[in-house]
Chains A and B, each alone.
Chain A
Amino acid sequence: MFSNFLIWFVIVPVLMLIGLGLCRNSSMKAIRTVMVVGSTILLAMSLWLCVDFLAQRAAGAADEMLFTGSWMWYEPLNIHLAVGVDGISVLMLILSSVIVFAGTFASWKIDPLPKNFFLWFTLLSTGVFGFFISIDMFTMFMFYEVALIPMYLLIGVWGTGRKEYSAMKLTLMLMGGSAFLMLGLFGIYWHSSADPNSLTWNILEISNNAAIDPGWQNYLFCLTFVGFGVLGAMFPFHTWSPDGHACAPTAVSMLHAGVLMKLGGYGCFRIAIFLLPQAANELAWFFIILTGISIVYGAFSACVQTDLKYINAYSSVSHCGMVLFAILMLNTTAMTGAILQMLSHGLMTALFFALIGMIYGRTHTRDIRQMGGLMKIMPYLGVCYMIAGFASLGLPGLSGFVAEMTIFFGSFEHADTFHRVFVIAATCSIVITAVYILRVVGKLLLGPVQDEHHLKLTDATWFERVATITLIVCIAAIGCFPNWINETIQHSFTPIIEVINQAANSGAMASVM
């Protein structure tokens, strides 16, 4: 079992948990050492995984998933701890480890109870890593829950503002999503095979078995898509996002917007679309409407907010809407765009929230009306904020542009009016994004200094620089050299597109007969 490389992505965080548990409460140094060493190891592992993965692919490994392994966990229900990765999971693992790494540095001076904070933080990352390596629906779901629950405490204890309310709201809404999801997953399990003795949770096995009954597919698709969509901030289930992000501590916002919201998109894609292709073909239109609304609606809402975190939370609604929107286009290009958008949004939103946390730590306000001219006072943070803003509004050379363009060009492959209208509506969001980003940049960073007390503030410290530079380098790397990502993930879509096309054909056949 330990010879499988992937399982170490869960073991390392667990070791970190043990290490943290052994630290004394007051020993900041020991806690930081454990966190930095652990997150660096994770980062190195994910990069190595990517290199190894590409090497194996280049050597001709054509399996859908590589590094697979499966160990029985609970026999009566045939639950396994099954792991395996394709290109998408590899990228998601890199994203998670980058953000955990940056998040560690961003919460360098967390107060109070640093040990407990990092314990929960690491538990959350355990869930995230576990989710991305699993190919067994049950363990996937389990890790999903492991990632959600620590959120409650992290926001409730270390948050700011109306933290109890927000923590409760976020947890309850996501748990509501989980309830749908659980029903959906159980449904898929019961229909996973024609033979009642060989029911399975394994995604690959289910996709190889005979297709699920179309009538059931529709119900299950709605359940799973909505279940994951809640986490992906799909309209109208997005309202946990503004409140939750606004009250969460910096690193938690980073991890939540950066990685946790990606769990939604990834899940929709891996389970809802892949296992229920026929329903996906049939019902995509409905969810395209919802996600299309998300995109434009989130962007418009962001224009009038005055709290920095609310602006970014609404912009996340818009950008994550774009992810689900692209997934629903059901073609390779748009789905590639969705993955790129997940990476891009993860990195730049993490950067945004890190910077907001740093600015808030200095000015003690997040209201843009009370700040101004910060560029002069803290040029480093100002420049980073501008870079994050430009990434968000889609400046070429940064990641947002590549992702959005791939989505638009992929979505435009559908020639019917319905799709066209929604694609064009989605493209409008690039203008609205520019409006709210420049509004914030203009008010917050440029112009005269609003508050004289701010003149005494200092620029970034070294650990803040580590956090921001890590993220900026990744954003620029994706933006300048996007094609290697395309190459990493291009094989991953083949099976999905195949089942979708098959389903579309069989649907057409059925309607003809």
Chain B
Amino acid sequence: MSQHILTVDNLTTRFATPDGEVEAVNAVSFHIDPGETLGVVGESGSGKTQIFMSVMGLLSKNGKASGSVRYKDAEILNLAPAKLNKIRGVTMSMIFQDPMTSLNPFLKISKQMTEVLVEHRGYSEEKALKHAVNMLDRVGIPGAAQRVHMYPHEFSGGMRQRVMIAMALLCDPEVLIADEPTTALDVTVQAQILDLLRDLKKDFNTAIVMITHDLGVVAGLCDRVMVMYGGRVVETGNVRDIFYDSHHPYTEGLLKSMPRIDRAHEQKMYAIPGQPPNLQNLPSGCAYQERCDYVQNRCTQSRPVLYDIAQGRASACFREVGE
């Protein structure tokens, strides 16, 4: 078995807010192997993004992460920014839902792309530019040699996301973390970007973390899936297990409540009742209890941990341990 590229152990992320402390991520553990695609699924506020913000050292000032994050064997959690910069953007890159937040609107794409290469790889300007153009070409930007000299706002939304992916791939990273990269895009453009990611995975053997709320995207792209709810992992497994044999009631509910384009009209959609949990005010016991169809007495009293079902497969529900 190959060595994990990224190992996250017992990661907890807290935010200090005027109304008290909030645990956005609670005791999350997982790992990523070379070349695999991990889907991280959850709703807004489930902590899915904050896990990777912690990993990349990008937490906002009022956030604090504890636990352990290892890149191969080296501990990287809460590393000084100077040291972290040798890893982020080089061996681990992250792309975001809104590319404009990570592109400098005042600099040409060429400048923004070559900077990284000159800095980290010691390339000459000329060589760096050539590499940048190649990369833009690779992600499907027509006329890359000319367009590299344009400013970010001169690109459309889909093109900007391609530029972001090209930038993320410049230093040939081992892990690409994609945080809802297609949520702001139209479906036809989303399909293009997903195709691109599939190709990259094949060509570069890059491990991809796909953070998304869209189970359809996960179904098409991912090998393994981690489902988040209320800051905790509630179910993990490979993609087929999650979709065809889901164990956790939340996963099950989520799958049932997705409207599907391939199915004819049903009288009424299945809907998970209630509201997403308020992290400031989580109930004691299972966070999903108020919305769960299988809720029992013990769900309100103690919190289920992740119970292993099989190799690499776990669910945080008392149904796994029986009566």
Q: Do A and B bind each other?
A: no
